[in-house]
Structure 1
């Protein structure tokens, strides 16, 4: 026990009547870090500096709702099973957010924002991939505060001490001696996943610099790397979960999503093989018509990129084989 990693005995603090929940603070920290990284990558692609914030207005609320819906659907017993409480399905602060629901609904929000601004989704998805992984890495520490989602029992030096937990109060249960009740030491799957997310983010950044991942390839690589790591941590976890043919539902989802993302990445690389961008950076300004943003009107901030460029006339229009492919 002395060699084990500690866990908090409290995850909620009060400022007067206002509760400060560690789980929510970790998620907020992840959102801030993810937006900052995405903003830097988006500006490097020539995009409008404040556009990631516009996306967040749509993607973050929808992502949280989607994450909760996915969790409730894949683990319905606590809410709709015997002795369950359906109202607790709304208690997001108690934990229980499914990443695939967050990605799917968040992608819908990003698509809406991109559509309204006249951007294509794929370049923005490539920009957001490393930041999304960093956000997930920070968000996983909320599970540490809640003493949840740990793995099998172990006595390894990095084993995690887990307390008997009272979700209603956000505190460890105390024994007759007034000390927190310890259930044992377990694999810190939250830590494994957090470290894997950070490593995957670094791999995507390095791969992007080396091979210039475009047309959604960086995002596809994010999905491949994350699902590969998630498959391992999911196999270690011992919390209650629905199973199909002896495997947890999340393992099946991860396997299917990994294969689809891997195929998408390979197809995209082959389809766009040989393309070159003389400007040295990706083109998020592959604009599409939208009611809010006509195709002929560039966004504010693009004017600097257009300054100094010669006007292209019909007689000087490059051939189709020399143009970058706008579809991603």
Structure 2
């Protein structure tokens, strides 16, 4: 069952005009980066009521308090009151950070998301998780707050470079693996080259919305959405400040491979299934070197994972393709073991 506030449309102009014919906010602001301003804003500009525009720099490196200050200053300068509306036109960084700024400005103003990347359309814009990175820790500061509306326009994917599409595909893969074994053969057979993005987007939204509706604040079931993310987020954070930076989906793909080994160890995932999934991920994302000397820093980053309880690292793992479980305790040695399993696929 899709979330009631998510609309999948093939006509963004018509959908926006219909939305604003019924909803009359006060001031309207549109948050963009240099990429969405060039490629996506022209497709929606004429369908929006009068508004102001705020442009920030793209990329995970800019998902921080300094950029939030820029956004809050813009809202203040534009005299936004509590009936103002913020429209987040962009990928996961724009949606996470724009929503965070809206939810905290004057104790909260409404916002809507127009996700422009595949990653945001299938995952980041659905579910109400907002936040920013802090001191090298991903999404360390944030809150839960649903947008007024999420309007998903698959055509935006056509504006993306191939590496961004590949990054978003990791979450499509994840959703099938944690919840829908019957969909996995379709994901695997299509791969990236012949993928039906509209179908994949709709499927991922359905999966995520159903899980989120059952557990909005991540007290239990919603944790399954973090399969691949305990180790994957640590890898992403570790390499963020280096010249070996990984996109979110690239890091999560490594995390899924590493956590497949732990799924076999702790959740009785069949080894053949773990190998099947891992080989597919390596075929899509290739192999990225993670040296043994990188491990200690990555392990330390897993200690800051938001699912942890005290000093115990908790992971979401697979019992098999299509079935995930959560709150599985893993050790530093397990992280090393998972990364060693990943290294066996080195060409």
Q: Normalising to structure 2: TM-score of the pair?
A: 0.28
Structure 1 or 2, whichever has the larger Rg, is: 1
Q: Which has the higher strand share?
A: 2
